[in-house]
Protein backbone atom coordinates (compact mmCIF):
# COMPACT_ATOMS: atom_id res chain seq x y z
CA UNK A 1 0.00 0.00 0.00
CA UNK A 2 1.47 3.28 -1.01
CA UNK A 3 1.93 6.25 1.30
CA UNK A 4 -0.64 8.30 -0.57
CA UNK A 5 -3.29 5.62 -0.26
CA UNK A 6 -2.62 5.15 3.45
CA UNK A 7 -2.88 8.88 3.97
CA UNK A 8 -6.13 8.99 2.02
CA UNK A 9 -7.68 6.13 3.99
CA UNK A 10 -6.65 7.64 7.31
CA UNK A 11 -8.35 10.84 6.27
CA UNK A 12 -11.52 8.90 5.48
CA UNK A 13 -11.43 7.23 8.87
CA UNK A 14 -11.08 10.55 10.62
CA UNK A 15 -13.89 12.10 8.62
CA UNK A 16 -16.15 9.19 9.46
CA UNK A 17 -15.28 9.41 13.13
CA UNK A 18 -15.80 13.15 13.15
CA UNK A 19 -19.22 12.73 11.55
CA UNK A 20 -20.19 10.01 14.00
CA UNK A 21 -19.18 12.18 16.92
CA UNK A 22 -20.69 15.44 15.73
CA UNK A 23 -24.06 14.11 14.54
CA UNK A 24 -25.52 13.25 17.93
CA UNK A 25 -24.09 16.42 19.42
CA UNK A 26 -25.73 18.52 16.71
CA UNK A 27 -29.02 16.69 17.16
CA UNK A 28 -28.90 17.40 20.88
CA UNK A 29 -28.12 21.08 20.32
CA UNK A 30 -31.02 21.34 17.89
CA UNK A 31 -33.34 19.66 20.41
CA UNK A 32 -32.24 22.09 23.12
CA UNK A 33 -32.84 25.03 20.80
CA UNK A 34 -36.30 23.73 19.97
CA UNK A 35 -37.20 23.10 23.61
CA UNK A 36 -36.06 26.57 24.60
CA UNK A 37 -38.02 28.29 21.85
CA UNK A 38 -41.15 26.17 22.21
CA UNK A 39 -41.37 26.45 25.99
CA UNK A 40 -40.85 30.18 25.91
CA UNK A 41 -43.47 30.77 23.25
CA UNK A 42 -46.20 28.66 24.85
CA UNK A 43 -47.02 31.04 27.67
CA UNK A 44 -48.19 34.07 25.65
CA UNK A 45 -50.79 31.93 23.87
CA UNK A 46 -52.52 30.91 27.07
CA UNK A 47 -52.17 34.31 28.71
CA UNK A 48 -53.58 36.03 25.62
CA UNK A 49 -56.55 33.64 25.63
CA UNK A 50 -57.07 34.31 29.33
CA UNK A 51 -57.01 38.09 28.94
CA UNK A 52 -59.19 37.83 25.87
CA UNK A 53 -61.82 35.85 27.78
CA UNK A 54 -61.71 38.23 30.73
CA UNK A 55 -62.23 41.22 28.47
CA UNK A 56 -64.90 39.50 26.42
CA UNK A 57 -67.13 38.63 29.39
CA UNK A 58 -66.92 42.14 30.81
CA UNK A 59 -69.88 43.20 28.71
CA UNK A 60 -73.25 41.83 27.69
CA UNK A 61 -72.97 43.12 24.17
CA UNK A 62 -71.76 40.42 21.76
CA UNK A 63 -70.06 42.73 19.27
CA UNK A 64 -68.43 44.79 21.96
CA UNK A 65 -67.35 41.69 23.87
CA UNK A 66 -65.84 40.09 20.81
CA UNK A 67 -63.94 43.24 19.92
CA UNK A 68 -62.73 43.75 23.50
CA UNK A 69 -61.49 40.17 23.61
CA UNK A 70 -59.63 40.41 20.33
CA UNK A 71 -58.06 43.74 21.30
CA UNK A 72 -56.93 42.35 24.65
CA UNK A 73 -55.41 39.24 23.08
CA UNK A 74 -53.57 41.09 20.33
CA UNK A 75 -52.31 43.70 22.77
CA UNK A 76 -50.94 41.02 25.05
CA UNK A 77 -49.27 39.18 22.19
CA UNK A 78 -47.65 42.40 21.00
CA UNK A 79 -46.29 43.05 24.48
CA UNK A 80 -44.77 39.55 24.43
CA UNK A 81 -42.99 40.15 21.12
CA UNK A 82 -45.39 37.97 19.16
CA UNK A 83 -46.40 39.51 15.86
CA UNK A 84 -50.16 40.13 16.18
CA UNK A 85 -50.53 40.02 12.40
CA UNK A 86 -49.74 36.30 12.42
CA UNK A 87 -52.13 35.46 15.26
CA UNK A 88 -55.67 34.15 14.96
CA UNK A 89 -58.04 35.11 17.76
CA UNK A 90 -61.44 33.47 17.84
CA UNK A 91 -64.09 34.55 20.35
CA UNK A 92 -67.31 32.55 20.53
CA UNK A 93 -70.33 32.85 22.77
CA UNK A 94 -73.91 34.06 22.97
CA UNK A 95 -73.40 36.76 25.61
CA UNK A 96 -76.57 35.77 27.37
CA UNK A 97 -76.38 36.08 31.17
CA UNK A 98 -74.15 33.41 32.74
CA UNK A 99 -73.25 31.67 29.49
CA UNK A 100 -69.78 30.60 28.38
CA UNK A 101 -67.59 32.68 26.15
CA UNK A 102 -64.57 30.88 24.71
CA UNK A 103 -61.50 32.66 23.47
CA UNK A 104 -58.94 30.75 21.39
CA UNK A 105 -55.59 32.16 20.37
CA UNK A 106 -53.37 30.53 17.78
CA UNK A 107 -50.11 31.73 16.27
CA UNK A 108 -47.03 30.25 14.60
CA UNK A 109 -43.64 29.98 16.26
CA UNK A 110 -40.84 30.87 13.89
CA UNK A 111 -38.36 27.97 13.82
CA UNK A 112 -36.55 28.92 10.64
CA UNK A 113 -33.38 29.36 12.67
CA UNK A 114 -33.42 25.76 13.92
CA UNK A 115 -32.08 23.68 11.03
CA UNK A 116 -33.79 20.30 11.24
CA UNK A 117 -37.11 21.55 12.59
CA UNK A 118 -37.22 24.25 9.94
CA UNK A 119 -37.18 21.59 7.22
CA UNK A 120 -39.56 19.26 9.02
CA UNK A 121 -42.18 21.86 9.88
CA UNK A 122 -41.90 24.30 7.03
CA UNK A 123 -40.46 26.95 9.32
CA UNK A 124 -43.33 27.33 11.74
CA UNK A 125 -44.95 25.45 14.59
CA UNK A 126 -48.41 26.52 15.71
CA UNK A 127 -49.20 26.97 19.38
CA UNK A 128 -52.63 27.66 20.77
CA UNK A 129 -54.41 28.45 24.00
CA UNK A 130 -58.07 28.43 24.88
CA UNK A 131 -59.93 29.77 27.92
CA UNK A 132 -63.66 29.75 28.66
CA UNK A 133 -65.29 32.12 31.11
CA UNK A 134 -68.91 32.86 31.87
CA UNK A 135 -70.58 36.19 31.32
CA UNK A 136 -72.15 38.09 34.19
CA UNK A 137 -75.19 36.47 35.69
CA UNK A 138 -76.95 39.78 36.36
CA UNK A 139 -78.01 38.61 39.79
CA UNK A 140 -76.55 41.46 41.71
CA UNK A 141 -79.52 43.44 43.00
CA UNK A 142 -78.60 43.47 46.65
CA UNK A 143 -81.78 44.66 48.30
- Residue 141 lies near other proteins (rule: CB under 8 A): yes
Residues 36-55, mask of contacts with other proteins (x by CB under 8 A):
x--xx-xx--xx--x--xx-
Phi, psi of 90 (to 5 degrees): -120, 120
Stretch that binds other proteins, among 19-27, 71-79, 104-112, 116-124 (CB under 8 A): 19-27
- Residue 138 lies near other proteins (rule: CB under 8 A): yes
- Residue 19 lies near other proteins (rule: CB under 8 A): no
SS3 of residue 110 by DSSP: strand
- Give every CB contact of residue 111 below 8 A, 6+ residues apart in sequence: 34, 37, 117, 118, 121, 123, 124, 125
Select 70 or 103, whichever has its Cβ closest to other proteins. Answer: 103
User: What is the DSSP pairing of strand 100-110 with strand 124-134?
Assistant: antiparallel
- Residue 90 lies near other proteins (rule: CB under 8 A): no
Amino acid sequence: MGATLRHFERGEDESFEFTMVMSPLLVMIVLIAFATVARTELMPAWTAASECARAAVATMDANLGRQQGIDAALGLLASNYVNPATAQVNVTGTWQPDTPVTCSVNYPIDVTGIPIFAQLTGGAIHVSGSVTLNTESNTSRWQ
